[in-house]
Amino acid sequence: MYACVCITDATLRDRLATLCADQQHIRDAAEFFVVCLDVHRLRRLIEYRGLEWGMRERIALLYGATDATMVAQNMVVAAESLGYGACYIGAVQNNVDVIAQELSLPPGVLPIYGLCIGVIDPAHYPPLKPRIPRDLCFFENSYPADFPAQALEAAYAAMRVKRDWLDSIGVYFATDGTMEHREPIMARAWRQQELDPRPVE
């Protein structure tokens, strides 16, 4: 339940780069893909042979996003195993409804993110990124009721690169952050692409 649209038209790629927070590497990368969840194709296959489509929106969103993520991750692993670099473009979600229209995506197809693949400039080879400590991600038998302050501080210490990590995550996840601004855009895109979950009857 995924589809990848490879953007080869320079003018279209420039428009998409502008819609994705004006990220220059979208314009410069050897390859740029928009990775989508896609239940449209599956619906066509079901209806083509005379069955009635039964998948609802919540399952479509969950399975489609999962499939799109797995195929994108496998593309990254394959590219990196061949010596190429890759960069996910989450900013596709900043204008996901407009991007769906730019790509003529039918109902049931929704952009999840972009993916740049190309040769890494040796002068700008990216360092390995830090990761949240394992004991805040992997648990045995159950999820903890809460995280102790010491564990939370350890996460901030591990993730600090050039500044306090709160400065980085706050821009995205705090009040008036990127994710809050994306919410109405995503809701609009879900309706536009006929993926907005209906009330359970």
Q: Does pTM top 0.85 for this prediction?
A: yes
Query: Which contacts qualify for 71-77: CB closer than 8 Å, 24 or more apart?
Result: 71/2, 71/4, 71/35, 72/4, 72/33, 72/35, 72/112, 72/113, 72/115, 75/4, 75/33, 75/115, 75/117, 76/115, 76/117
CATH of the domain at 98: 3.40.109.10
Residue 67 is part of which domain span?
Answer: 2-125
- Domain membership flag for residue 192: no
Nearest to 30 by CA among 70, 67, 66, 83: 83
pLDDT of residue 79: 97
- Domain membership flag for residue 77: yes
- The pLDDT tens digits for 129-145 are 899 999 999 999 999 99
Phi, psi of 178 (to 5 degrees): -55, -45
- Domain membership flag for residue 200: no
Residue 15: burial class (beta carbons within 10 Å; 0-12, 13-18, 19+): middle
Q: What is the dihedral of CA 67, 68, 69, 71, to 10 degrees?
A: 80
- The pLDDT tens digits for 160-194 are 988 999 999 999 999 999 999 999 999 999 999 99
- Domain membership flag for residue 115: yes
- Domain membership flag for residue 188: no
Angle, nearest 10°, between helix axes 165-173 and 178-192? 30
Helix (H) and strand (E) counts in the chain: 8, 4
pLDDT of residue 87: 95
CA 18 – CA 137 distance, rounded (Å): 35
Per-residue pLDDT of the chain (201 residues; tens, 9 = 90+): 999 999 999 999 999 999 999 999 999 999 999 999 999 999 999 999 999 999 999 999 999 999 999 999 999 999 999 999 999 999 999 999 999 999 999 999 999 999 999 998 888 887 888 999 999 999 999 999 999 999 999 999 999 988 999 999 999 999 999 999 999 999 999 999 999 987 766
- Domain membership flag for residue 93: yes
- Domain membership flag for residue 164: no
- Domain membership flag for residue 167: no
